[in-house]
Chains A and B, each alone.
Chain A
Amino acid sequence: MANDTNKQTDGDAIDENLKRVYDDMLNQEVPDRFKDLLAQLKAQDAAADDTSGGENE
């Protein structure tokens, strides 16, 4: 019965839905572009380190 707990109902139902919405988004697969981007950034840094002190165009 809903009657016993009606004071709590709104907040609980809303938080539960919020979590479901959020978890739904969390569980989506992360596109490769982000991992590629991170790898690219890393490679850039490595390259910059190698030529550090180098040519300042």
Chain B
Amino acid sequence: MSTPDPREQLVEHLPAMRAFAMSLTRNSAIADDMVQDTLVKAWTKIDKFEAGTNLRAWLFTILRNTYYSNRRKAKREVADVDGVFTESLSQKPDHDGRLQMADFQRAFAQLPDEQREALILVGASGFSYDEAAETCDVAVGTIKSRVNRGRKHLVELMGLDSDEALEITDSATMAVVSGRSGGTM
């Protein structure tokens, strides 16, 4: 047979599924439960997957449907946010931009779900606008506007002006570096 069983490829998409789930839920325990549900659904409904199309996009679609239907059921949306972004960051002490990253992650976690997922899909995981639109089941223009609003929103939340962004990175880095090195400067 020339077509491999897509179920054999699920394992390759696990890291991406977890990353997407974490960016949606902002909680690693909930994210992992969602990935588990998604795996079971994908496995049992694999005949719904069209061979040759984008398996990752298909999995992300299941993942986000799981998320949004859970969110509707459990109305405690914001309660469980556990700093999953800062958590992962603190695992590796950074040589640069640490303070700015922490700010960024905090701001990112505050975005509305729809903007956060659009930014992750298009800005980080390399989906085209078309793929992202299909994954989220909305028009391409809607994805574009979510991405744009998400970017603007992030800039506002971090209190950046376009002119300042680079300088802030630098001064934040300086602050961290000089603060941490015991004030030898």
Residues of A near any B CB (own CB < 8 A)? 2-3, 5-7, 9-11, 13-15, 17-28, 30-31, 33-35, 37-38, 41-42
Candidate in A7, A14, A24 with the most chain B CB atoms within 10 angstroms: A14
At the interface, is chain B mostly helix, strand, loop or mixed?
helix
Interface 9-mer from B8-16, B53-61, B71-79, B177-185: B8-16
Tell me how far the C-beta of B83 lies from the nearest C-beta in chain A, rounded to whole angstroms.
12
Do B15 and A10 have beta carbons less than 8 Å apart? Answer: no
CA distance A43 to B154 in the complex (A): 46
| Docked-complex contact A26 and B10, CB < 8 angstroms | no
Interchain CB contact under 8 A, B165 and A33? no
Find out whether the CB atom of B104 lies under 8 angstroms from the CB atom of A11: no
Query: A25 vs B24: C-alpha distance in the bound complex, in angstroms?
Result: 12
* Chain A residues near B7 (CB-CB < 8 A): 41-42
| CB within 8 Å of A: which B46-102 residues | 84-85, 88-89, 100-101
Determine the distance from Cα of A19 to Cα of B120 in the docked complex, in whole angstroms: 8
Chain B residues with CB under 8 Å of chain A are 7, 10-11, 14-16, 18-19, 22-23, 32, 35-36, 39-40, 43, 84-85, 88-89, 100-101, 104-105, 108, 119-120, 123-125, 151, 154-155, 160, 162-167, 169
Bound form: Cα–Cα A46–B151 in Å: 48
CB pair B11–A35 under 8 Å, yes or no, is yes
11 contacts between A and B (CB under 8 A): A2-B163, A5-B166, A10-B165, A13-B165, A14-B155, A17-B100, A19-B124, A21-B23, A27-B15, A38-B43, A42-B7
Q: Does B22 lie within 8 Å of A25, measured CB to CB?
A: yes
Q: Are B104 and A21 in contact (CB under 8 A)?
A: yes
The answer to whether B151 touches A38 (Cβ under 8 A) is no
Q: Are A34 and B35 in contact (CB under 8 A)?
A: yes
Nearest to A5 among chain B residues (CB) is B166
The residues of A that contact B100 with a CB separation of less than 8 Å are 17
Contact between B163 and A14, CB atoms less than 8 A apart: no
Whether B15 contacts A24 by the Cβ 8 Å rule is no
- Interface pair A2/B120, CB less than 8 Å apart: no
Task: State whether B39 touches A25 (Cβ < 8 A).
Answer: no
